[in-house]
């Protein structure tokens, strides 16, 4: 299995800076209408909250109940807080979004994923952790909010430079 | 400049599994450099995957996502040979996009 590269990449390198500028403009005109059409506004306020409780309030405006139908997969101990692999799957129905929070990070909210109908409610990503913390995953399903969390020990923090 | 996005999309019958790896510093704005100066925030805010003209997955990210971000998800449907469009925009307004063939 090969990983697909942008097919323009070689030509761009050959043609140099002028081509880079053109390709950059092209990308922009493509990308922006796509976001507008999907009505996907970036939740700026939620990404400014320091605590996980405030971030949840800003993002969803409601509180979550814990659910055993959410399986959060994160390491017990993360040797490198800069790269902590975290994934989640759930058997909840009608999932519309999945979000990850790290309570002890300077900004608690790490990521929020929109799950349209037809997309499997399962996400894997890699997050930063400043120090040992509770990692929370929120799943919005059928208009209600559910959560699961796990304590992850960090031996070297991810925000210390 | 080569594309910052590498995507692998594999259809196994009912489901298309997608993995993406993006080159980006993902600076949170909380880290100091060796001179003790804050490295300004520079991170991808939105990442969107589109298939057949519709979004199948989109991410809102903060600075807490690791450098050179990786994400994996799956959606129902998707035909071998069809294209999946991927695009991102960061907090400085920079964007990149690419298309990958579903294999």
DSSP code for A33? H
Under 8 Å between Cβ of A98 and A137: yes
* pLDDT exceeds 60 at position A71: yes
Is B85 in CB contact (< 8 Å) with chain A?
Answer: yes
DSSP code for A119? B
CB contacts of B3 in chain A (<8 Å) are 5-6, 8-9
Interface of B with A in 63-82 (CB under 8 A): 63-67, 69-77
Q: What ipTM was assigned to the predicted interfaces of this complex?
A: 0.95
Contact between chains at A47 and B60 (C-beta distance less than 8 A): yes
Q: CATH number of the domain at A46-154, please? A: 2.60.40.2470
Average pLDDT over chain A, rounded to whole?
82
Secondary structure (DSSP) of A69-91? TEEEE--SEES-TT-EEEEEEE-
Contact between chains at A105 and B69 (C-beta distance less than 8 A): no
In this complex, the residue of B46, B62, B77 whose CB is nearest that of residue A110 is B62
Q: Please give the average per-residue pLDDT across B55-76, as a whole number.
A: 97
Q: What are the structural domain ranges in chain A?
A: 9-38, 46-154
Nearest 5°: CA angle at B44, between B42 and B49? 170
Q: Which of A24-33, A49-58, A84-93, A133-142 has the lowest mean pLDDT?
A: A24-33
List of domains in chain B = 5-101 (2.60.40.10)
- pLDDT, tens digit (0-9, with 9 covering 90-100), for A106-129: 999 999 999 999 999 999 999 999
In this complex, the residue of A6, A34, A110 whose CB is nearest that of residue B65 is A110
Chain B residue with the nearest C-alpha to that of A13: B1
Q: What is the pTM of this model?
A: 0.83
Provide the pLDDT confidence category of residue A8 given band limits of 50, 70 and 90. very low
Q: How high is the pLDDT of residue A156?
A: 77
Among B7, B29, B47, B64, the strongest candidate for a mutation testing the A interface, having the largest count of A CBs within 10 A, is B64
Contact between chains at A116 and B55 (C-beta distance less than 8 A): yes
* pLDDT exceeds 70 at position A18: no
Contact between chains at B63 and A158 (C-beta distance less than 8 A): no
Q: In terms of C-beta density within 10 A (0-12 exposed, 13-18 middle, 19 or more buried), how is residue B100 classed?
A: buried
Among B31, B66, B103, the strongest candidate for a mutation testing the A interface, having the largest count of A CBs within 10 A, is B66
Contact between chains at B58 and A40 (C-beta distance less than 8 A): yes
**Percentage of residues in chain A with pLDDT exceeding 70?**
73
Q: How high is the pLDDT of residue A159?
A: 61
The CA distances from residue A129 to A8, A82, B5, B22, B99, in Å, are: 36, 6, 24, 20, 31
């Amino acid at each position: 299995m090969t990983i697909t590269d942008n097919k323009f990449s070689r030509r761009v390198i050959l043609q140099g800076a002028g081509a880079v500028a053109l390709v950059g403009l092209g990308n922009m005109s493509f990308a922006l209408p796509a976001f507008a059409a999907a009505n996907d506004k970036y939740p700026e306020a939620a990404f400014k909250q320091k605590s996980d409780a405030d971030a949840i309030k800003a993002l969803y405006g409601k509180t979550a109940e814990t659910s055993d139908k959410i399986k959060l997969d994160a390491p017990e101990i993360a040797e490198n807080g800069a790269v902590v692999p975290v994934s989640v799957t759930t058997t909840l129905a009608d999932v519309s979004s999945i979000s990850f929070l790290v309570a002890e990070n300077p900004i608690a909210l790490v990521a929020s994923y929109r799950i349209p109908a037809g997309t499997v409610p399962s996400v894997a990503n890699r997050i930063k952790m400043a120090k040992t913390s509770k990692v929370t995953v929120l799943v919005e399903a059928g208009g209600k909010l559910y959560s699961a969390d796990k304590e992850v020990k960090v031996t070297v923090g991810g925000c210390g430079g | 400049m080569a594309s910052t996005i590498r995507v692998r999309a594999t259809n196994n019958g009912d489901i298309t599994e997608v993995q993406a790896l993006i080159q980006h510093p993902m600076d949170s704005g909380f880290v100091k450099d060796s001179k003790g100066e804050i490295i300004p925030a520079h991170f991808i805010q939105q990442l969107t995957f589109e298939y057949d003209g519709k979004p199948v997955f989109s991410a809102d990210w903060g600075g807490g996502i690791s450098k050179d971000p990786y994400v994996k998800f799956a959606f129902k449907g998707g035909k071998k040979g069809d294209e999946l469009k991927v695009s991102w925009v960061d907090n400085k307004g920079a964007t990149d996009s690419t298309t990958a063939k579903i294999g």
